[in-house]
A = this chain, B = another copy of it.
Amino acid sequence: MSTGQGRSALPSETIASLEAIDVRFPTSAHLDGSDALNPEPDYSAAYVTIRTSGGAAGHGLAFTVGRGNDVAVAAVRALAPLAIGLPVDEVLADLGGFSQRLTGDSQLRWLGPNKGAIHMAAAAIVNAVWDLYGRREGKPVWQLLSELSPEQLVDLVDFRYLQDALTRDEALEILRRAEPGRAERTARLLEQGYPAYTTTPGWLGYSDEKLVRLSKEAVAEGFRLIKLKVGADLDADLRRLRLAREAVGPDVRIAVDANQAWGVPQAIDWMTRLAPYDPYWIEEPTSPDDILGHAAIRRAVAPVKVATGEHVHNQVMFKQMLQAGSLDVLQLDASRTAGVTENVAILLLAAKFGVPVCPHAGGVGLCEMVQHLAMFDYVAVSGSTEDRVIEYVDHLHEHFTDPVRIRDGHYLAPTAAGLSAEILPASVVEHSYPDGPVWSGTAA
C-alpha cells in the first residue's frame, strides 16, 4: 500500500489551514457522565479541522469535560504553526516524524513533555491528519492501518524511551506474526463486529431503579459486560453492585470504576468489601500516575483485575505499568496520548506484554475514534478479541457524520473513509462555546 505517494492530487499540496473550535455539550444538566471525581461534566471537544491547499479536509478532536476546553484550544493553536505549510505527501509518508515534530518542539515541550493540555492538543492534530489520510485513501483508518506493512507501522513508533521494554525488532516480530491472518480476521470483523461493553447503566447520578432497568436492558441488548461507577460511598456501592448483580445474573461481567477516588490502602480495603459481588475489574483505583500503587493494588485484589489508561498520559507511563505488572486491562484513550500514532506504539507494548487492550470511550467522539484502534489491534497486532471489549456509552453520537453502529453488543466496523471524528457542521455551530446558541441562550 502507498504511504501517501502516488495518489496525491498535486505534488505541491500543503496543509493550508488548521482551525480549532471550542465545542461543548451541556451534559451536566442530566448527570450523564457523573462519577466519583467528575460530578458535573460538560462533554467537550477541542475540535480540529485541517484543510489542504487541494481542498481536502481532515477532522480530529481532543476530548475534555468542560472548563479548560479553551486551554486545549489554545494549545492546538500554539502547535498549529508546526503543521501549517507542510507538504501533505511528506506528512503522510512520515507520520512518526510528524508526531515527533509536534511533541518535540523545543519550546512547547516545556508544557509537558508529552502530557497535559499540550499533548492532548497534539492528539487532536494527529487524529485530524489520520482522518485526512484515510479519506485520501478511501479507507476507514482501522483498515488503512491494517494494510500498512510491519515496517511502515514500526516507523510510526518513537522507540527512544521504549527500547528497554520493546525494541524495533521485537515490534516487527509481533506484526509479522500477525500478518498471515489479517485477511481472515478482517472478514470476520466485517461480519461480526468487535465486542463492546456499556457504561450506560452505572453513572453515580442515576437512581437505583434506573440502574436496575438499564442493567437489564444492557443484557437484553447483547452486552456481556457492564460497568458501574463506585468510590463515593461504600454502602451505596455495595447496594448498587448487589442490585446490578441481581439484575444481570452471575454470567455477565460487572466492572467497577473508582475514577481515582482512593489511595492505595483504601483501594485495597474497598475492593475487599466489594469482592462478594464478583467485580470483574477495578478501573482507576487511584492516581493514574501511580504505577507502583496500581501494581500493589493488583497484587492485593486478585483475582479482580486492575484496569486503567484514560488518564495515563503517554507511552512511557504505559511501558512502566506493563513492566511493573500494574495492569490486567489497558484502557488506551484516543486523545489523552498523542492520537493514533502514539496509540500504535501502545498497542505494540500491550502485545509484547500479553495484556488485552480495552479502550476508554464515551465522552465526545471517543467511541468513534477508538473503534479504529481496537479493530486494527485485532486484525494486525494482537490478532485476538479474547477478553477485549471497547467501552460504549450512548451519548452524543447523533452529532457525528459517521456515528458508531452497535449491534448485539458489538461495534460494527466502520466502512466510511477516515477516523469517524467529523462533527456535523450544524452541531459545531450550535454548540460552539461561548457564542453558539446552546450557550448564549438563543437556542430554539
Q: Interface residues, chain A, CB within 8 Å of chain B?
A: 37-42, 64-68, 70-72, 74-75, 78, 104-120, 159-164, 260, 262-266, 286-293, 296, 311, 313-314, 316-317, 319-320, 323-324
Contact = CB atoms under 8 A, between A and B. Distances in A.
A112 B106 contact: no
Query: Within the oligomer, what is the number of copies of this chain?
Result: 2
Contacts of A70: 74, 78
Contact of A72 (B72, B111, B161): B111
Contact of A116 (B66, B106, B119, B263): B119
Contacts of A111: 64, 68, 71-72, 116-117, 120
B288 A108 contact: no
Contact of A160 (B66, B120, B159, B263): B263
22 contacts: A37-B104, A37-B109, A66-B107, A66-B110, A68-B78, A68-B110, A68-B111, A70-B74, A71-B71, A71-B78, A71-B118, A74-B74, A113-B260, A114-B289, A115-B115, A162-B263, A163-B263, A163-B264, A164-B265, A290-B320, A291-B291, A293-B316
A68 to B, nearest CB: 4
A267 to B, nearest CB: 10
Given A116-B115, A116-B119, A106 B289 contact: no
A160 B320 CA distance: 22
Contacts of A37: 104, 106, 109
Contacts of A311: 113
Chain B CB count within 10 A is highest, among A111, A115, A160, A263, for A111
Contacts of A113: 260, 287-288, 311
A69 to B, nearest CB: 9
Q: Which of A66, A67, A110, A164 has the most chain B CB atoms inside 10 A of its CB?
A: A110
A104 B118 CA distance: 19
A117 B71 contact: yes
A323 to B, nearest CB: 6
A317 B293 CA distance: 11
Nearest to A289: B316
A212 B293 CA distance: 46
Given A112-B116, A117-B75, A292-B323, A161 B68 contact: no
A40 to B, nearest CB: 6
A71 B163 CA distance: 32
Contacts of A314: 289
A326 to B, nearest CB: 11
B78 A164 contact: no
B71 A161 contact: no
A66 B114 CA distance: 17
Contacts of A40: 106-107
A342 to B, nearest CB: 13
A169 to B, nearest CB: 14
Given A67-B107, A106-B37, A111-B71, A264 B118 contact: no
B41 A161 contact: no
A313 B320 CA distance: 16
Contacts of A104: 37
B316 A287 contact: yes
Nearest to A110: B65
Contacts of A42: 107
Most buried by B among A71, A114, A265, A296: A71
Contacts of A120: 111
A67 B105 contact: yes
